[in-house]
Structure 1
Amino acid sequence: MYFHVDSVEKTTVLGFNIGKLLNSGDIICLTGDLGTGKTHITKGIAKGLNIDDHITSPTFTIVNEYDTGRLKLFHFDVYRVNDPDEICAIGFDDYIFSDAVSIIEWANYIEEILPREYLHINIEKDLNIDENFRKITIIAYGDKYNYIKELKI
């Protein structure tokens, strides 16, 4: 499934619509280059979960926790993780196999420890069109994510 957006606001709206569909225990893996909008889509997802907290990327803390919404949210940023064992040491499995929604930015850095089922969202800049234009690809790994077919911007 592909979406094309031309602004931060539309990226956030797409995230919001994803967040409204998410269920307890869902795992979202985000990939894309620096500055493509991974944190912006996460902000939208949080809003879709009725979380009004200020969402920031946990680049130096690895995980931020938000528990004020419809579902608890664990927001990971593994950009600075050099070895998957580092993330395992913080209890990664306890986080992602809980009732919370888990969002993992830079998930491609820890592919070998990801579960088999998750929602993968890749964000790419399309400089052939415009500096602000993004192609967002969403792939569901596992039947539990079939609800994503209902997604609209």
Structure 2
Amino acid sequence: MRKTTSPEATKQLALTLAPYLRPGDVVVLSGDLGAGKTQFVQGVAAGLGVSASVTSPTFNILLSYPEGALPLYHFDLYRLEHSDELEDTGFYETVDGDGATFIEWGEKFPEALPYGYLEVSIGVDVDGNRLVQAHALGDRSRQLLFVWAKDSKSRLMKK
């Protein structure tokens, strides 16, 4: 768990994850509206060298950023009601594809998530700080979490 005290600190924490991402990595982001899920993706995008403005794909469902060191795919499943709607978004092809996939609100459809993924949960405390917790499911995500947690730059503040 890490605590960040500003949007910039949340982005900086996420930026430290970028060098360790590989094609096929999936990160599921959970947290209330406004918790900082999109800010987290903005930090990863900056770490991958994406120059485009990264915004929430709430109305698009999927936004792609192919120009970084690794293609970045950003899903927001908030507006979807049923898992069968994922077929129309290219979800399964993207998750199994050539880049790193970040999924906001993925917990709505746990049956659709791949075998292994890194779960990043962002909460907000009473002072407005972000509490970022990561949990690995599967071998590759455990390896990803291990190297990210050991990165000295990711240690913004332990709770």
Structure 2 residue matching 1:44: 3-state secondary structure: helix
Which residue of the partner structure matches residue 68 of structure 1? 67
Cα distance in 1 for residues equivalent to 2:56 and 2:109? 17
TM-score by length of 2: 0.90
Q: CA RMSD in A?
A: 1.0
Superposition pairs of residues 1-153 of structure 1, within 5 angstroms: 2-127=1-126, 130-131=127-128, 133-145=129-141, 146-151=143-148, 152-153=154-155
Return structure 1 stretches of 4+ with deviation > 4 angstroms: none
- What do the CA deviations read for 1:55-103 (whole angstroms, capped 9, x no partner)? 0111011000111111111100000001111112222111100011110
| 8 Å contact from structure 2 (residues 61, 89) kept in 1 | no
Query: What is the DSSP-based 3-state SS (H/G/I as helix, E as strand, rest coil) of the residue aligned with 1:65?
Result: strand
- TM-score w.r.t. structure 1 length? 0.93
Q: After superposing the two structures, state which structure 1 stretch, 24-33 or 137-146, moved more.
A: 137-146
Amino-acid identity (%): 36
Which runs of no fewer than 5 residues in structure 1 stay unpaired?
A: none
Aligned length: 149
Where in structure 2 are there 5+ consecutive unaligned residues?
Answer: 149-153
- Confirm or deny: 8 A CA contact 2:29 2:106 kept in the other structure: yes
- Paired with 2:84 and 2:121, the residues of 1 have a C-alpha distance of 24
